Amino acid sequence: MKNKRLEADELEVQRQEVLKQWSTGAGVNLEEAVTYHKAMPAEKVFAAKLAKAKAEGATLAQPRGGTTLLQEQIDLLQYLQDEGGADFLPTTIDSLNRQNRYQEAEKVIEDSKKAGHSLRNGFPAVNYGVVACRRIIESVNLPCQVRHGTPDARLLAEITLAGGFTDFEGGGISNNIPYAKNVSLEETISNWQYVDRLVGLYEEQGVRINREPFGPLTGTLVPPCISHSVGVIEALLAAEQGVKNISLGYGQCGNLIQDIAAVRSLTELGEEYLAKFKYKGMMLTSVFHQWMGGFPQDESQAFGVISWGAVAAALAKATKVIVKTPHEALGIPSKEGIAAGIKATKQIINMVRNQALLNSEELEREKEGIKVETRAIVDKILELGDGDIAVGTVRGFQAGILDIPFAPSRYNAGKILPVRDAQGAVRFLDHGNLPFDKEVIEFHQERIAERGRIEGRDPSFQMVIDDIYSIGKGRLVAIGS
Ligand SMILES: CC[C@H]1O[C@@H](n2cnc3c(N)ncnc32)[C@H](O)[C@@H]1O
């Protein structure tokens, strides 16, 4: 495995094997799919709408959403378009397709048809195939994105891209370490080189497909430099395979200055590293995910969390915000709940849109700090890989140079420990083996010590536990409980 564009014959050999993994693979014909995409109206091309929003400095809203039955998925997306006012539409993929367990997914579809309603969360796109995906695309007037967490997404990409989706989420790190326990990075990085090469083939035929590395990762107190390092690495891996349109993502932490600094530094770092490796013609945008951790049960409080995420996304001028729902703490949201989250978010965006946040020097310092930390990690990874970002990533995770908090994967060191400071910004209580110099480490320790003094307790793992539950309990920083 190395960070090198897949040769055509190499890809073709893999494609023949991948398209046989399920019967619906036979429905994929790349040339025919390119023709289908070229007939797509511009307002349904994800990258085109993102580029327009970026040029206008607008923040567009997208929900998540997936159901077992095709007609229910169509009804859901039409509702989110017409009632919810969504700017982009999702199709969240089911857990069985994410694990390539298509036989079991087939059974869930049959059982759901017998029951007359969807029995599982998420749409089993591989089982339905290309024609069914096109029915979804043709039933709405908005760009649609595939959202999931799939270590081996090769067949899912083949089918959904041929099916008319114009944006595909995920990556070799972001759909492995936070989602799987026993899948090696070598395997998932090469799986996702295939996905990115497939997107590159569409791009070379003039079909724009946007790629969105999954920014939030484990969604629990993930420090900005960690998600930024993964985003930059996945952008470089994608660019090498011919991807041109990339949305870099970040999961809200909750402190406004830190979140705005995170969004602004993210695309700046992406541009910086893509330029360093001389990738041309790239179109980078940013995606802000509203709080991905535990939510309050109470729907009014949940709207408070959603609205706070909308404020941060709008003030940061993120190109897209991924919206939560007031049912987050309860279970699978209803279409009304999803629509409510979108409407609350767009109300805030419309009210905040023209208010420029005063560029405080605290914001500049936070932004610079995130850049210094991210560069330290990414440059160390490049060094470990002798310049090859793929090789360096595998070695970097082995050495704990890159480490994702609370991740299930046994390939993750799991040594770092994040905790909030007195203002709720996420800092490192333990930086593990991250390659930071003394000033960086001392900055984090000092900010955490300040909280300890205010709360009258020593910084400890208990603070981390408190912070994991705090938003669900109605606070950002759990003052010594
Ligand atoms: C990445 C995980 C997140 O995706 C969201 N999610 C999962 N399934 C659905 C769903 N069916 N509809 C809307 N949102 C959903 C939910 O916010 C969850 O925390």
pLDDT in tens, 12-51: 999 999 999 999 999 999 999 999 999 999 999 999 999 9
Band of pLDDT at residue 357, cut at 50, 70 and 90: confident
The per-residue pLDDT for range 57-94, each reduced to its tens digit, is: 999 999 999 999 999 999 999 999 999 999 999 999 99
Would the CB of 90 count as within 6 Å of ligand 1? no
Give the pLDDT of residue 332: 95
Atom of ligand 1 nearest to the CA of 324: 17
- DSSP structural state of residue 432: T
Q: Please confirm, yes or no, whether 353 is among the known catalytic residues.
A: no
Q: Please confirm, yes or no, whether 169 is among the known catalytic residues.
A: yes
Give the pLDDT of residue 352: 94
Residue 391 has pLDDT above 90, yes or no: yes
Contacts of 219 (CB under 8 A, 6+ apart): 178, 251, 289, 292, 293
For residue 363, how far is the Cα from the chain centroid? Answer: 24
Give the pLDDT of residue 137: 98
Residue 481 has pLDDT above 70, yes or no: no
Give the pLDDT of residue 177: 98
Q: What is the pTM of this model?
A: 0.98
Q: Are 262 and 370 in contact (CB under 8 A)?
A: yes
Atom of ligand 1 nearest to the CA of 66: 11
Ligand 1 centroid to 148 CA: how many Å?
10
Give the pLDDT of residue 480: 55
Ligand 1 centroid to 332 CA: how many Å?
7
Q: Are 126 and 24 in contact (CB under 8 A)?
A: yes
Atom of ligand 1 nearest to the CA of 122: 11
Give the pLDDT of residue 354: 83
Q: Are 174 and 234 in contact (CB under 8 A)?
A: yes
- Euclidean distance between CA atoms 160 and 145, whole angstroms: 9
Q: Which tokens belong to 330?
A: 């309860």
Residue 183 has pLDDT above 90, yes or no: yes
Residue 202 has pLDDT above 70, yes or no: yes
Q: Give the closest residue (by CA) to ligand 1 atom 3.
A: 292
Ligand 1 centroid to 338 CA: how many Å?
9
Would the CB of 334 count as within 6 Å of ligand 1? no
The per-residue pLDDT for range 296-308, each reduced to its tens digit, is: 999 999 999 999 9
Would the CB of 215 count as within 6 Å of ligand 1? no
Length of the chain: 481
Alpha helix segments (H runs only) across 212-334: 224-240, 256-276, 299-316
The per-residue pLDDT for range 324-344, each reduced to its tens digit, is: 999 999 999 999 999 999 999
Which bin fits 170, alpha (ψ -120 to 50), beta or left (φ > 0)?
left
Atom of ligand 1 nearest to the CA of 147: 1
Q: What is the mean pLDDT of residues 148-155?
A: 98
Cβ neighbours of 361 (radius 10 Å): 7
3-class state of residue 337 by DSSP: helix
Q: Are 281 and 245 in contact (CB under 8 A)?
A: no
Ligand 1 centroid to 64 CA: how many Å?
6
- Choose the residue to mutate in 67, 92, 227 for probing ligand 1, maximizing ligand atoms within 8 Å of C-beta: 92
Q: What is the mean pLDDT of residues 415-442?
A: 98
Q: Which tokens belong to 267?
A: 């695309």
Ligand 1 centroid to 121 CA: how many Å?
9
Host H or E run for residue 193: helix 185-204
Residue 112 has pLDDT above 60, yes or no: yes
3-class state of residue 164 by DSSP: coil
Q: Give the closest residue (by CA) to ligand 1 atom 4.
A: 64
Question: What share of the chain in percent tops pLDDT 90?
Answer: 98
Which bin fits 130, alpha (ψ -120 to 50), beta or left (φ > 0)?
alpha
Give the pLDDT of residue 478: 75
Would the CB of 398 count as within 6 Å of ligand 1? no
Give the pLDDT of residue 359: 77
- ipTM for the predicted complex: 0.96
CA distances from 280 to 235, 243, 266, 276, 379 (A): 13, 11, 18, 10, 21
Would the CB of 290 count as within 6 Å of ligand 1? no
Ligand 1 centroid to 328 CA: how many Å?
8
Q: What is the mean pLDDT of residues 429-438?
A: 98
Would the CB of 64 count as within 6 Å of ligand 1? yes
Of these residues, 98, 147, 264, 451, which one is catalytic? 98
The angle that helices 389-399 and 361-384 make with each other, rounded to 10 degrees, is 100
- Residue appearing with tokens 């993964």: 230
Atom of ligand 1 nearest to the CA of 67: 11
Average pLDDT, the chain: 97
